[in-house]
Amino acid sequence: MPKQEVFFEQTTKNRRIEVLKTYDRSYAREVFSSLGSEAREALATALELEKIYESADIPNPDGGEYDGFLWDELCEAAREDVRNDPSLYSFFVVAETGPDRAEDLYISPDWPSAEAFAKKCIAATGSNHPTL
């Protein structure tokens, strides 16, 4: 797995939740493609799309155009240095590892929303959370 740095790690019961920083855009695309609806909603909230666009200009989350729109917005927000290297992106991935699986749960262009999602996953380990 292409990961550059672990920014956060917590083990609870028999699961480990990590926030990884990666610069690998293809890995980021894989994570994005596997997101569940809760993670997509959290990403859209973190991107603050309503501050950038009129609500009529945001595709319907249930429509076919939404995934491409959300991916483009994620990449734009993850761009590191537009002037010196416009091809450099950094993404924060929330990953869960347990005895029977490893899964990427969330991706974000920023550390605070990734940490918040990780902590929400940790808090949910005691309940019947669908991703944990």
pLDDT in tens, 42-94: 999 999 999 999 999 999 999 999 999 999 999 999 998 767 777 889 999 99
Reported as a pLDDT band with limits 50, 70 and 90, residue 127 is very low
Quick one: average pLDDT of 103-119? 96
C-alpha dihedral, 97 to 90 to 118 to 46, nearest 10°: -140
Task: Record the tokens describing residue 109, joined without a space.
Answer: 């262009």
Those residues with Cβ within 8 angstroms of residue 20's Cβ, 6 or more apart along the chain or in another chain: 3, 4, 5, 6, 7, 92, 93, 95
Residue 131 domain-assigned (yes or no): no
Residue 132 domain-assigned (yes or no): no
Residue 90 domain-assigned (yes or no): yes
Q: Let me know: does 104 contact 34? Beta carbons within 8 Å.
A: yes
Q: What is the pTM of this model?
A: 0.86
The pLDDT assigned to 5 comes to: 83
Residue 68 domain-assigned (yes or no): yes
pLDDT tens string 2-58? 557 888 899 877 889 999 999 999 999 999 999 999 999 999 999 999 999 999 999
β-pair partners for 12: 15
Query: Quick one: which of 6, 4, 2 has its CA closest to 26?
Result: 2
- State the chain's maximal CA–CA distance in angstroms: 46
What would you report as the CA-atom Rg of the chain, rounded to the nearest whole angstrom?
15
Residue 104 domain-assigned (yes or no): yes
Residue 40 domain-assigned (yes or no): yes
Number of domains in the chain: 1
CA 129 from centroid of its chain's CA atoms: 18
Reported as a pLDDT band with limits 50, 70 and 90, residue 116 is very high
The pLDDT assigned to 126 comes to: 55
Residue 79 domain-assigned (yes or no): yes
Task: Record the tokens describing residue 11, joined without a space.
Answer: 């083990």
- Domain of residue 109: give its range: 5-126
Name the phi and psi angles at 8, rounded to 5: -155, 140
pLDDT of residue 129 exceeding 60: no
